[in-house]
Chain A
Amino acid sequence: MTGHPIPLQIQNLRKSYGSFQAVNDLSFVVNPGEVFGLLGPNGAGKTTTISIITTLEKRTSGEVKVFGHDVTAESRQAKCKFGVVHQEVINSGFFDLEELLQFQSGYYGIRNNTKRIHELLGRLGLFEHRHKKVKQLSGGMKRRLMIAKALVHSPRLLLLDEPTAGVDLTLRENLWTFVQELRSEGIAVLLTTHYLEEAELLCDRVGILNHGKLEACGPTSKIINQFAQKKIIVETRSAGRKEIMAKTDEVLGDILVASGIDPKDLLDVHVEEGRLEDAFRKLISAPMEAKP
């Protein structure tokens, strides 16, 4: 990492509204080519965190740096390095898609960005709609337009605030593929989502926020191993059907031996792997002092 600034570095970030702590001592980094999922229930502080990165909200204290640039003190440099897809869909009515994207490019100092705009519209399946107004697009198309807007200036960090909220499964899967393509191009992605299946599939690492505090942070598989259990359903001749809960990294043979099951007695075994959803539920529902 030496010599290459970290795409996003958040250190001891706090945001309070009066006595309410929306973000409480939050620290994490997003590395190049990594998809980092910021997860949490409604009101956990995910959107507030993104709003602070994008300067829509002011932090109370702490440090937020984008590629080494403080988002407040060096906001112009920081803003040039990231793109953001907001949670709410825009409905801008005066201009067509291509005009909107040309304006968006211009804000970043890029004139006549037609090649990049056409490339993005093509990749996002919007090229044939480029002369339509936003209000003429479907909800899914509007979402894709917002992604195109966030990427016109070729940022190396993309902030996605619940990009798949309220979209159908096909579009969601298309967006997943697109995010994976961005990752393979070395773009760092900060993703907030309520869909834990989505986070499990896409995110290299996740941070789980609750009441503004980071309850757990690490590689997705490690979080699952640490906080979720797998379910082993065994059917034996002697005892019939039985469910065994075990840590996700435990070996099946050891589990069966520890449970006193003779392999000769075994009729069928079915393993349900631990899911991020289970880890999430455990972290969010457990009292804070009880957490490992």
Chain B
Amino acid sequence: MTGFLTLLEKEIRRFMKVLVQTVVTPFISSFLYLLVFGVSLGASVPGKDGVSYLAFLIPGLVMMALMNNAFQNSSSSIVSSKFSGDIEDLRVVPLSENEIIWAFALGGLVRGFIVGFVTFMVGQVFHYLQVGTWLGVVHPFALLYFVVAGGLLFGLLGIFVAFWAGSFEHLSAFSSFVLLPLTYLGGVFLSIDHLSPFWQGVSKLNPLLYLINGLRYGMLGVSDVGLVESMTISFVGLVVFYLMARVSLRRGSFQRW
């Protein structure tokens, strides 16, 4: 257990050492998203089920920040270890595969939670200034479920991608060509109700839709998809990504770049 806690502590202290990169940058980007999409363009975009577009946008941005940062934390930690050469230590020290996987995944969740919380607080300020009220949390347990599921799921995905990556380009390609489109098309900015039935069907194949809408349900009580459906798909995703992380740890490369 001490080994696991040590690796988790190292993962958390690692991103705390570069706070500008890990917390301040997402703060600025969420500020800009809310300013441009939430306040300026948002005035002409319809909300959903009586919720203003700004309120609709905030949980989407929170989940986007959480997922991106959870992914980046585990993947960049492993990739930078491959570059510096201390990745071999992970194989040599007496840590089990599960200890390594969950320490990285939880490290991702902690960073994702911090950045998501910062985004939420920025959103609160915007909402107060725009609407005159603070944004509440309608279903706190659902919110907690999707925060934990989203953070762990993307922490695990980061482990999988980082162990398979043979260079920085592989990691960057995955972020640009897979993660980014799925995030943007997963209902962060718009309800899929505004899409044609065909594109609604396509959107429902995107697993991120369920995480984003699950968190939106927890915060606002509105969602494009059913709660049970979102919870089930998120849980299945968690199991699948855990297995993928395990396979990558067993078969992926521990060689330095």
Contact assessment for A104 and B17 in the assembled complex, using a CB-CB cutoff below 8 Å? no
Known A79-B92, A79-B94, A103-B6: A94·B85 in contact at CB below 8 Å: no
Q: CB distance B88 to A86 under 8 Å?
A: yes
Find the B residue at minimum CB distance from A86.
B88
B96 contacts chain A at the CB level, 8 A cutoff: yes
Cβ B93 vs Cβ A107 within 8 A: yes
A93 at the interface (CB under 8 A from B): yes
Contact A54 B92 (CB under 8 A): yes
Binds A, one of B7-15, B53-61, B156-164, B232-240: B7-15
Interface residues contributed by chain A, number (CB under 8 Å): 29
Asked if B84 and A110 make an inter-chain contact with CB atoms under 8 angstroms apart, the answer reads no
Q: Which A residues are CB-close (under 8 A) to B2?
A: 106, 109-111
Closest Cβ–Cβ distance, residue A59 to chain B (whole Å):
15
| A66-113 interface with B by 8 A CB criterion | 75-77, 79-80, 84, 86, 88-95, 99, 103-104, 106-111
Q: Is B248 an interface residue (CB 8 A)?
A: no
Q: A75-B94, A79-B93, A108-B94 are in contact. Are A88 and B6 (CB under 8 A)?
A: no
From 131 to 187 in chain A, residues with beta carbon under 8 angstroms from any chain B beta carbon are 134, 149
In the complex, are the beta carbons of A107 and B94 less than 8 A apart?
yes
- Evaluate whether A91 and B93 lie within 8 angstroms (CB atoms) in the complex, with A103-B6, A106-B9, A107-B7 already known: no
B94–A91 contact, CB under 8 A? no
Could you tell me the distance in whole angstroms from the C-beta of B72 to the nearest C-beta in chain A?
15
Chain B interface size band reads: 20 to 34
Given known contacts A76-B96, A103-B10, A107-B6, A93 and B84 CB-to-CB distance under 8 angstroms: yes
In the complex, the chain A residue whose C-beta lies closest to that of B1 is A109
Q: Specify which chain A residues have a CB less than 8 angstroms from the CB of B7 in the assembled complex.
A: 103, 106-107
* Residues from 69 to 113 in B contacting A, C-beta threshold 8 Å: 80-81, 84-86, 88-89, 91-96
Structural contact, A55 and B91, CB atoms closer than 8 A = yes
Query: Is the C-beta of A56 less than 8 angstroms from some C-beta in chain B?
Result: yes
Q: How far is the CA of A106 from the CA of B99 in the complex (A)?
A: 13
- In Å, the complex CA distance between A50 and B254 comes to 15
Distance in angstroms from A11 CB to nearest chain B CB is 22
Q: Which residues of B contact A55 (CB under 8 A)?
A: 91-92
Q: Is the interface of B mostly helix, strand, loop or mixed?
A: helix
Minimum distance in angstroms from B232 CB to a CB of chain A: 36
* Interface residue B256 (Cβ < 8 Å from any Cβ of A): yes
CB distance from A97 to the nearest CB of B (A): 13
Residue of A nearest to B6 (CB): A106
Bound Cα distance from A56 to B256, whole angstroms: 12
What B residues does A75 contact at CB under 8 A? 94
Chain B residues near A106: list those with CB within 8 A. Answer: 2-3, 5-7, 9
For A105, the closest partner residue in chain B by CB is B6
Interface residues of B in 104-128 (CB under 8 A from A): none
- Inter-subunit contact B89/A108 (CB<8 Å): no
Please, how many angstroms separate the alpha-carbon atoms of A93 and B93 in the complex?
A: 20
- Could you tell me if B85 and A107 are in contact, using CB atoms closer than 8 angstroms? no
Give A149's nearest chain B residue, CB to CB. Answer: B89
Residues from chain A with a CB closer than 8 A to the CB of B94 are 75-77, 79-80, 107-109
| Contact indicator A108/B92 (Cβ below 8 Å) | no
Contact partners of A104 in chain B: CB under 8 A: 89, 93
Q: Select the residue from B5, B10, B14, B80 with max chain A CB neighbours within 10 A.
A: B10
- B89: A residues at CB distance < 8 A: 90, 104, 107, 149
Q: Mark B11-35, 1 if CB is under 8 A from A, else 0.
A: 0011001100000000000000000
- Considering only CB atoms, which chain A residue lies closest to B77 in the complex? A94
Contact call B3/A108, Cβ cutoff below 8 A: yes
Residues from chain A with Cβ under 8 Å of B95 in the complex = 107
Cβ-closest chain A residue relative to B99: A107
Chain A residues 39-59 with CB under 8 Å of chain B are 54-56
CB distance from A71 to the nearest CB of B (A): 11
> In chain A, what residue has the closest Cβ to B17?
A94
- CB pair A84–B92 under 8 Å, yes or no, is yes
Contacts of A91 in B (CB 8 A): 84-85
Among candidates A54, A76, A110, A111, residue contacting B91 with C-beta atoms closer than 8 Å: A54
- Give the shortest distance, in Å, between B152 (CB) and chain A (any CB): 22
Q: How far is the CA of A79 from the CA of B95 in the complex (A)?
A: 9
Q: Is there an interface contact between B6 and A90, defined as CB atoms closer than 8 Å? A: no
A134 to B83, CA, bound (A): 14
Complex CA gap A76/B4 in Å reads: 13
What 15 new A-B contacts, CB under 8 Å, besides A54-B92, A55-B91, A95-B17? A54-B91, A56-B91, A75-B94, A86-B85, A90-B89, A92-B81, A94-B18, A103-B7, A106-B5, A106-B6, A107-B93, A108-B93, A108-B94, A110-B2, A111-B2
Could you jot down 7 A-B contacts, CB within 8 Å? Answer: A86-B88, A90-B86, A92-B81, A92-B85, A94-B17, A106-B3, A111-B6
